[in-house]
Amino acid sequence: MATSWRKAQENEVQFWQAIYVEKQKDISTYMPISDDTALAFTKKSVERFGQILETIYDKIIIDVGCGPYGLIKGFQVNAHKTGNNPKKIYGIDPLINTYLKFGKLPTASYIEYINAKAESIPLEDGLCDYIYSTNVIDHVEDPARVLQECSRICKDTGMFLFAVHTVKFPFNMLGPLLNLIDKNHPHHFSENKILRLAQKYFSSVVLKRRIGILEDHPEFKFFNTFRSTDKLRGFKRWLSTFLLYSCYFQCAK
């Protein structure tokens, strides 16, 4: 598993370098984004979790696996527009030092980035009001350990909100094959499997939304396969629209 995770991390770096350094335009939704599109992305995400942007005012929140902008950019834009800031935002990612080189990470007095794996988050127990994690759990080395860590740092009155790609039935039985095809994800969960895993660490786990891949990535349509700079990669993206959907879970202790 460790070797698979390390390779996935290398692929992740290459993915973002293709966008931010090489300026490839294969995936329009991942191109460098404006304040408005960042805000729209964050607003859409928190609403899928059953929340509104105002929920985070004066709260301590964390974006686990924040990537080069994640939800944090939208939170920052909203705080700037409204004047209502969270008390603190932590961005956790083992590739933070790489993302810093891109110069895309949003900054503010209340934002702090920590270069760390989600399996070992260097924050105290019960610190966070809301913990967000979007498209991360299937990228990590040890998903169970990540869920345990998120439970540990979550307040008793707080929530852990995570989104993950899940494999549709009956394709969920093709896990070993998917690991060969999709080298950016060390894990491929069915909806029931990730639900049961989360229930080991949280007393309440509620599926709030199921979202089709094309809803977030219309550029994955078949005719765009031929426009991709990497035709095989474009084909696999189109194939993913049949195999996967995104689940948004709300967890409470």
User: Tokens at residue 65, please?
Assistant: 């696996």
pLDDT in tens, 172-225: 766 666 666 666 677 889 999 999 999 999 999 999 999 998 888 777 777 777
Whether 238 is in a domain gets the answer no
CATH number of the domain at 56, please.
Answer: 3.40.50.150
Whether 45 is in a domain gets the answer yes
Whether 77 is in a domain gets the answer yes
Whether 95 is in a domain gets the answer yes
pLDDT in tens, 52-92: 999 999 999 999 999 887 899 999 999 999 998 999 999 99
C-alpha span between 34 and 40 (Å, rounded): 10
- Structural domain count of the chain: 1
C-alpha span between 210 and 183 (Å, rounded): 23
| Predicted local distance difference test score (pLDDT) of residue 243 | 83
Whether 173 is in a domain gets the answer no
**Which element (helix H / strand E) includes 165?**
strand 154-167
Cβ partners under 8 Å of residue 146, min gap 6: 64, 118, 119, 133, 136, 137, 140
Whether 177 is in a domain gets the answer no
Whether 80 is in a domain gets the answer yes
C-alpha span between 78 and 60 (Å, rounded): 16
Whole-model pTM? 0.85
Identity (one letter) of the amino acid at 47?
Answer: E
Rounded CA Rg of the chain: 17
Domain around 146: 2-166+184-212+246-252
Q: Coil, helix or strand for 1?
A: coil
Whether 128 is in a domain gets the answer yes
Which of 36, 40, 78 is CA-nearest to residue 57? 78
With bands split at pLDDT 50, 70 and 90, how would you rate the model's confidence at 168?
Answer: confident
